[in-house]
Amino acid sequence: MSRILLFNKPYGVICQFSRDGLHPTLADYITAPGFYPAGRLDTGSEGLLLLTDDGKLQHRITDPSHKLPKTYWVQVEGIPDEAALERLRGGVQLKDGLTLPAQASLMEEPADLWSRDPPVRFRKDIPTCWLQLTIREGKNRQIRRMTAAVGFPTLRLIRHGIGEWSLDGIAPGKWSGTDI
């Protein structure tokens, strides 16, 4: 039987157990032995990180050929119009190639959203809004590069779901475990 942990990674935490002396690591939050991250999440991003004690499951989660959908809540600078959303839905040309089409929609700020430390910069003359983006690939910093390419830089990035798993009910810095 495989075990999986769903961890709500706070902003500023690096996705490794070994300490680098600069940032908090997974070791500061997860004491269960034998678990390893199935994928990564940038230090400046928050949200769902899966960890497992099963190498085959870890591979299945991270292998691009399985194309597990990853859903993000993205706060962007400005308010994207339908044309910008259509560009995200059709695939965005980045320096390393065209992204696969994404599911993209405007959303209300998530209910019960936790505060971020440090807070997102605020500019009184530039509005922000939230998008829900679902992708099926994982290029380096892909969401940030996609929103910037369509003219709406990412201010805050929260991964809400991977495949069947989500952050629902898991506070920042906390984890939930299950057998699968």
Catalytic residue set: 42
Q: How far apart are CA 133 and CA 139, in angstroms?
A: 14
Q: How far apart are CA 75 and CA 126, in angstroms?
A: 13
What amino acid is encoded at 126 in this protein? Answer: I
Q: How far apart are CA 100 and CA 84, in angstroms?
A: 15
Q: Which residues of 98-122 are buried (b: 16+ CB within 10 A; e: fewer)?
A: ebeebebeeeeeeeeeeebeeeeee
Whether residue 127 is preceded by a cis peptide bond, meaning omega within 30 degrees of 0, is no
Q: Which residues of 14-47 are buried (b: 16+ CB within 10 A; e: fewer)?
A: bbeeeeeeeebbbeebbeeeebebbbebbeebbb
Q: How far apart are CA 33 and CA 51, in angstroms?
A: 11
